Amino acid sequence: MPSGHVSASVDGTVIAASDTYELVEGNIYFPPAALKPEYFSTTDLHTHCGWKGDASYYTIKVGDKELTNAAWYYPDPMEKAKHLKDYVAFYKSKVNISTA
Protein backbone atom coordinates (compact mmCIF):
# COMPACT_ATOMS: atom_id res chain seq x y z
CA MET A 1 0.00 0.00 0.00
CA PRO A 2 1.54 3.34 -1.05
CA SER A 3 1.61 6.19 1.42
CA GLY A 4 1.76 9.96 1.17
CA HIS A 5 -1.04 12.47 1.32
CA VAL A 6 -3.65 12.28 -1.43
CA SER A 7 -6.81 14.31 -1.86
CA ALA A 8 -9.74 14.55 -4.22
CA SER A 9 -11.49 17.85 -4.81
CA VAL A 10 -14.19 19.47 -6.88
CA ASP A 11 -13.88 23.20 -7.56
CA GLY A 12 -11.51 23.54 -4.59
CA THR A 13 -13.71 21.63 -2.13
CA VAL A 14 -11.95 18.58 -0.70
CA ILE A 15 -14.27 15.58 -0.88
CA ALA A 16 -11.73 12.90 0.17
CA ALA A 17 -8.27 12.90 1.76
CA SER A 18 -5.97 10.21 3.11
CA ASP A 19 -2.37 9.33 3.92
CA THR A 20 -2.82 5.77 2.65
CA TYR A 21 -4.33 4.50 -0.58
CA GLU A 22 -4.15 1.80 -3.23
CA LEU A 23 -2.79 2.47 -6.72
CA VAL A 24 -4.27 0.20 -9.41
CA GLU A 25 -4.06 0.67 -13.17
CA GLY A 26 -3.13 4.34 -12.76
CA ASN A 27 -6.06 5.10 -10.45
CA ILE A 28 -5.76 6.09 -6.80
CA TYR A 29 -8.27 4.23 -4.64
CA PHE A 30 -9.14 6.05 -1.41
CA PRO A 31 -10.06 4.09 1.73
CA PRO A 32 -13.77 4.45 2.59
CA ALA A 33 -13.02 6.48 5.74
CA ALA A 34 -11.28 9.11 3.58
CA LEU A 35 -14.55 10.22 1.98
CA LYS A 36 -16.63 13.13 3.25
CA PRO A 37 -20.00 11.35 2.98
CA GLU A 38 -22.09 14.51 2.67
CA TYR A 39 -20.88 14.86 -0.94
CA PHE A 40 -21.66 11.29 -2.08
CA SER A 41 -24.82 9.45 -3.08
CA THR A 42 -25.06 5.97 -4.58
CA THR A 43 -26.39 5.46 -8.09
CA ASP A 44 -27.98 2.55 -9.93
CA LEU A 45 -25.01 2.13 -12.30
CA HIS A 46 -23.00 -1.09 -12.08
CA THR A 47 -20.20 -2.26 -14.38
CA HIS A 48 -18.05 -5.38 -14.43
CA CYS A 49 -14.27 -5.77 -14.46
CA GLY A 50 -12.90 -9.20 -15.33
CA TRP A 51 -10.50 -9.32 -12.37
CA LYS A 52 -11.94 -6.86 -9.84
CA GLY A 53 -15.62 -7.74 -10.06
CA ASP A 54 -18.76 -5.61 -10.11
CA ALA A 55 -18.32 -1.89 -9.53
CA SER A 56 -20.89 0.39 -7.97
CA TYR A 57 -20.92 4.17 -8.46
CA TYR A 58 -21.36 7.44 -6.61
CA THR A 59 -22.66 10.76 -7.80
CA ILE A 60 -20.82 13.68 -6.22
CA LYS A 61 -22.63 16.92 -5.38
CA VAL A 62 -20.68 20.01 -4.34
CA GLY A 63 -22.77 23.16 -4.15
CA ASP A 64 -24.78 23.40 -7.37
CA LYS A 65 -22.42 21.06 -9.27
CA GLU A 66 -23.53 17.45 -9.64
CA LEU A 67 -21.12 14.91 -11.13
CA THR A 68 -23.08 11.81 -12.06
CA ASN A 69 -21.27 8.47 -11.64
CA ALA A 70 -17.98 10.29 -10.98
CA ALA A 71 -16.60 7.70 -8.53
CA TRP A 72 -16.64 3.93 -8.33
CA TYR A 73 -15.95 1.21 -5.79
CA TYR A 74 -16.13 -2.58 -5.43
CA PRO A 75 -18.44 -3.62 -2.57
CA ASP A 76 -17.76 -7.34 -3.11
CA PRO A 77 -14.55 -7.66 -5.16
CA MET A 78 -13.18 -10.84 -6.63
CA GLU A 79 -10.35 -12.66 -4.82
CA LYS A 80 -7.44 -10.88 -6.55
CA ALA A 81 -8.95 -7.48 -5.69
CA LYS A 82 -10.04 -8.10 -2.09
CA HIS A 83 -7.68 -5.31 -0.95
CA LEU A 84 -9.89 -2.83 -2.88
CA LYS A 85 -13.11 -3.65 -1.00
CA ASP A 86 -15.08 -0.39 -0.68
CA TYR A 87 -12.07 1.73 -1.72
CA VAL A 88 -13.15 4.58 -4.01
CA ALA A 89 -11.59 5.83 -7.24
CA PHE A 90 -12.55 8.92 -9.21
CA TYR A 91 -12.74 9.83 -12.88
CA LYS A 92 -9.82 12.22 -13.35
CA SER A 93 -11.82 14.13 -15.94
CA LYS A 94 -14.43 14.99 -13.27
CA VAL A 95 -12.47 15.20 -9.99
CA ASN A 96 -9.08 16.76 -9.24
CA ILE A 97 -6.69 14.25 -7.63
CA SER A 98 -3.64 15.66 -5.82
CA THR A 99 -0.66 13.83 -4.35
CA ALA A 100 1.94 15.28 -2.01
Q: Which domain holds residue 77?
A: 3-99
- The pLDDT assigned to 100 comes to 78
Task: Give the pLDDT band of residue 64 (cuts 50, 70, 90).
Answer: very high
- The pLDDT assigned to 3 comes to 76
Range 11-34 average pLDDT:
97
Q: Domain containing 63 — which CATH number?
A: 2.170.150.40
Q: Which residues contact 50 (CB under 8 A, 6 or more apart)?
A: none
pLDDT digits (tens, 9 = 90+) for 39-58: 999 999 999 999 999 999 99
CB-CB contact of 7 with 17 (8 Å) = yes
- The pLDDT assigned to 11 comes to 96
Query: What is the three-state SS of 2-51?
Result: CEEEEEEEECCEEEEEEEECEEECCEEEECHHHECHHHEEEEEEEEEECC
The yes-or-no verdict on residue 1 having pLDDT over 80 is no
pLDDT digits (tens, 9 = 90+) for 32-43: 999 999 999 999
- The pLDDT assigned to 22 comes to 96
Number of domains making up the chain:
1
Cα of 45 vs its chain's centroid, Å? 14
pTM for this entry: 0.95
State how far the Cα of 83 lies from the Cα of 100, in Å rounded to an integer: 23
CB-CB contact of 62 with 41 (8 Å) = no
- The pLDDT assigned to 65 comes to 97
